Chain A
């Protein structure tokens, strides 16, 4: 089995008095879909924002392709090949599909002139490569797209940069049945192309359909790491709501001796 491409070891993060993450271990391998589950506020978004460089972890280590790395900002993580599709859909409504896919990383000629033709071609190729075929035009403004189309554009954007790890924070939360189908198929295709995919979701049905493994977080701690084929939804629900925590909340320095 492949070695993990991305690994977090003992990462912690607090916001004021809130210990959002405490000594969390997490990993994902190439070609695998890793689900990250947990109740509201369990720390899922915090974990991926730390990996993405939105804010630094207080302690712990991030390893990429086996080597320890320092991630100081979004640029560092995307340079490594880590792309995140955020929960709140980081798309710019007024801009068209192409402009969104290149947001902040436009192709330029002669140093500063936008290379529209090249951008449009690359965007179209990426969308076609992912079999995203429901878009009428890549020159359409994003505000007019359906939720599923928007999510597909956001995913395609993440994939376009030769990324190795794609992280999706609740990609299907705001979608209807058919659109969820679209996105889940897309997620499977990413893993087939040997990308490492992390998917955060509250929907266990979706997770059992696409994920190879499941990491469950509870109150900021890793409680379980499952092989999806070996567990039932019931097991996962139990882990999310009542999983055994390694450290006592509020007394983070001492290990529980149960």
Chain B
């Protein structure tokens, strides 16, 4: 024949069947990565309701929702960045605080629409800067968004001097933050509506389709003639808009705003996303899953609070959760490779 090693064909076929065998051993991990969240969330809520004093009270449930909503809104937006295989958007920390401060401070000085318009422009700027750096200049998303966090928080602290802004005791912001429908604060209803909207974007529009394609196989998507930079910019803009709305809701809940109020939002949102089953490798995941992940993370945190475990323990739990979820994701992925 052509002087080519004929064994090339045989070896690759061999590898295929080897992996086929391995696949069977790892079924449990695949199941956990794919279906785990449904079972774990249900189990966690049941355990909490049965064994944790004070969990099942109306006041506590509302409190869980109030705390879950801002992080949830941030997380469903950030889900697009994760599915596009760009890891995460760390700058949501700066973005949430900025939107909260702008909402309270600017509406005190001027009007609520003016505050929202300014916050919207800032969100677009964040989305564009992150998106262009990552999508056009191909910079690493973690480094880029870590840097924009520094820049954003730096500017915010410089402008505010670290001071706390209080909203007026009466008015639309305050009433948004305190209105409930049954046990559901308005913020939770906003979260559900945004989740539905973004879920439709991801599953029903060509943009959502391209985010999945790009996250699944960058090269193939580029070779198909797709303007991939636009896809990445779009993902970061959605993340920024989520962070902005998360900031609004957070400010309305406490009727205050300060540059340090969103510490930890990045990792809590990431925890919700990947515990939900969206893959950190990109290409696979859903917005609805993130909503479930938010419930899981929030209930877990609440259980710890009710059990008297302090913030340090909660941080450790979130960290451990991320490591566990990422490990299951990696192992399941390795096992699924054909």
Contacts and interface: CB of A to CB of B under 8 A. Distances in A.
Given A74-B222, A174-B9, A204-B1, A92 B205 contact: no
Contacts of B279: 94
Contacts of A147: 13, 16
B289 to A, nearest CB: 14
B14 to A, nearest CB: 10
Task: State the main secondary structure of chain B at its contact with A.
Answer: helix
Interface residues of B, number: 36
A202 to B, nearest CB: 4
Interface in B177-231: 203-210, 212-213, 215-217, 219-226
Contacts of B220: 90-92, 103
B67 interface: no
B300 to A, nearest CB: 28
Given A114-B205, A205-B1, A95 B213 contact: yes
Contacts of B204: 113-114
Given A92-B220, A95-B216, A95-B283, A203 B225 contact: no
Interface in A58-94: 73-75, 78, 84, 86, 88, 90-94
Interface string A29-65: 0000000010100000000000010100000000000
Interface string A131-158: 0000000000001110100000000000
Pick from A108, A202, A241 the residue with the most CB of B within 10 Å.
Answer: A202
B225 A78 contact: yes
Contacts of B217: 90-93
Contact of B207 (A112, A203, A237): A112
Nearest to B12: A174
A99 interface: yes
B212 A241 contact: no
Contacts of B159: none
Interface residues of A, number: 43
Contacts of B2: 37, 202-204, 233, 236-237, 240
Contacts of B210: 104, 106
A173 B9 contact: yes
A92 B284 CA distance: 11
B212 A105 contact: no
B175 interface: no
Given A114-B205, A175-B9, A176-B13, A54 B223 contact: yes
Contact of B209 (A37, A54, A73, A99): A99
B11 to A, nearest CB: 10
Given A94-B212, A114-B206, A203 B1 contact: yes
Contact of B213 (A39, A92, A204): A92
Nearest to A180: B9
Residue with the greatest number of chain B CB neighbours at <10 A, chosen from A86, A114, A236, A237? A114
A115 to B, nearest CB: 10
Contacts of A114: 203-206, 208-209
Nearest to A204: B2
Contacts of B222: 74
19 contacts: A74-B224, A75-B225, A86-B223, A88-B219, A90-B217, A92-B216, A95-B212, A103-B220, A104-B226, A112-B207, A113-B206, A114-B204, A114-B208, A173-B9, A175-B9, A204-B1, A204-B2, A233-B1, A241-B3
